[in-house]
């Protein structure tokens, strides 16, 4: 079987052993933005998942840019030191390269952890005033954000730059800006959440302005050998929201701004938005962005089966696939995919005796 999934790929100065990426997944287990022992275990485990790249969860560029009190950040020296500790550990024991996703939650911040209900923080839990392009809440019973002022836009942009500079010092192989999932930069991009009448609202060009200014500023701060990308939305799945045509325009602009790749996702803008539930539902959207913007593309969204993932790459719909819950369910998903597709994948020597060449029981699991 053709194992396109296990072909190497190069992004800027980053060489990846295969096209499998562990998607950034919030763990809600940090201490004032500082990665914890949980992250040490979680990311250390995924460093040996068989994926070529592991992306650290959405990490706040400022304290009140996080989703919850438990989200990671890169806004302080303590954050930077804690993240360095975890990533150094992952590199020592694993084979994957590491990226980080830097983000500002916007109106979706000041929230409870999912296992606490996931809604807005109540008064007794130290909530904060959230920011958004317009004073429109994420959904019913959510706090009303404050419309961000022009000077604050510049401050948040500079916070992305500062977080990226910290990420460079930590030693990440790639840095990814979060422009999707209903967080602040996506809120500016979508006409559903952006009702401004200044230079940052109205036309598609204006709604892209904050995203492009941030991309340009971060690109200027990040050395060229470090792959720089962004996760973008290809559809809001809402009437009057972002369309694939809008996403193609944004992708072309971000390529011109110096980005090396894009991760294509969708949805998450409002509480009532609902994504499709078909396997690989973003793949055709990613294919169009890849073809029309001519930029390497990673796709995420209900990718579970190794043959399905391989087909997405083999058909040219995307250059990489990102898996989230499938990796939580099976932290050695890359090993499974290699067995199914007849490919080779790095395994730590301590676990090699569980591979197909040394253990007959492996075949019984497939």
Q: Residue range 272-276: average pLDDT?
A: 94
Q: What is the number of domains present in the chain?
A: 1
Buried b or exposed e, range 277-313, using 16+ CB within 10 angstroms:
eeebbbbebbbbbbeebebbbbbbbbbeebeebbbbb
- Of the pLDDT bands very low, low, confident and very high (cuts 50, 70, 90), residue 357 is confident
Assign 215 to helix, strand or coil: helix
What's the pLDDT score for residue 360? 84
Kindly tell me the sign of the dihedral angle through the C-alpha atoms of 297, 302, 304, 308. Answer: negative
183 among known catalytic residues: yes
Residue 299: which domain range? 4-365
Sign, CA dihedral 313-319-325-328, equals positive
pLDDT digits (tens, 9 = 90+) for 292-303: 999 999 999 999
Other CB atoms within 10 Å distance of the CB of residue 15: 12
Q: What is the mean pLDDT of residues 109-117?
A: 97
Q: Are 21 and 51 in contact (CB under 8 A)?
A: yes
pLDDT at residue 54 tops 80: yes
pLDDT tens profile 178-233: 999 999 999 999 999 999 999 999 999 999 999 999 999 999 999 999 999 999 99
Q: Which candidate in 28, 75, 183, 281 is catalytic?
A: 183
**CATH number of the domain within which 222 lies:** 3.20.20.70
The reported pTM is: 0.96
Instruction: Note the residue count of the chain.
Output: 366
**pLDDT at residue 366, as a whole number:** 67
**Local structure of 103: helix, strand or coil:** strand
């Amino acid at each position: 079987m053709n194992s396109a999934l296990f072909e190497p790929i190069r992004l800027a100065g980053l060489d990846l052993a295969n096209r499998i990426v562990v998607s950034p997944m919030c763990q809600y287990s940090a201490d004032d933005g500082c990665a914890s022992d949980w992250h040490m275990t979680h990311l250390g485990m995924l460093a040996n998942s068989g994926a070529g790249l592991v992306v650290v969860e959405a990490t706040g560029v400022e304290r009140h840019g996080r989703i919850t009190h438990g989200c990671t950040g890169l806004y302080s020296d303590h954050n930077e030191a804690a993240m360095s500790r975890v990533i150094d550990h992952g590199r020592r024991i694993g084979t994957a390269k590491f990226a980080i996703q830097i983000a500002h939650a916007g109106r979706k911040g000041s929230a409870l952890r999912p296992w606490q209900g996931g809604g807005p923080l109540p008064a007794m839990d130290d909530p904060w005033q959230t920011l958004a392009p317009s004073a429109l809440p994420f959904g019913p019973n959510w706090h009303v954000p404050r419309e961000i002022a022009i000077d604050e836009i510049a401050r948040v942009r500079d916070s992305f730059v500062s977080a990226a500079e910290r990420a460079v010092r930590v030693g990440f192989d790639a840095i990814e800006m979060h422009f999707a999932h209903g967080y602040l930069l996506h809120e500016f991009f979508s006409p559903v959440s952006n009702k401004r009448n200044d230079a940052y609202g109205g036309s598609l060009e204006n709604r892209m302005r904050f995203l492009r200014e941030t991309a340009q500023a971060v690109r200027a701060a990040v050395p060229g050998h470090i792959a720089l990308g962004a996760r973008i939305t290809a559809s809001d799945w809402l009437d009057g929201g972002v369309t694939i045509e809008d996403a193609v325009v944004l992708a072309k602009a971000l390529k011109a701004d110096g980005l090396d790749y894009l991760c294509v996702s969708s949805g998450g803008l409002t509480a009532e938005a609902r994504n499709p539930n078909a396997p690989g539902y973003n793949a055709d959207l990613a294919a169009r962005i890849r073809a029309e913007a001519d930029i390497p593309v990673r796709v995420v969204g209900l990718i579970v089966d190794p043959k399905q993932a391989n087909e997405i790459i083999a058909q040219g719909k995307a250059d990489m696939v990102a898996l989230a819950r499938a990796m939580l369910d099976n932290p050695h998903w890359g090993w499974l995919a290699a067995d199914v597709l007849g490919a080779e994948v790095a395994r730590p020597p301590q676990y090699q005796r569980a591979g197909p060449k040394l253990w007959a029981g492996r075949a019984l699991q497939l």
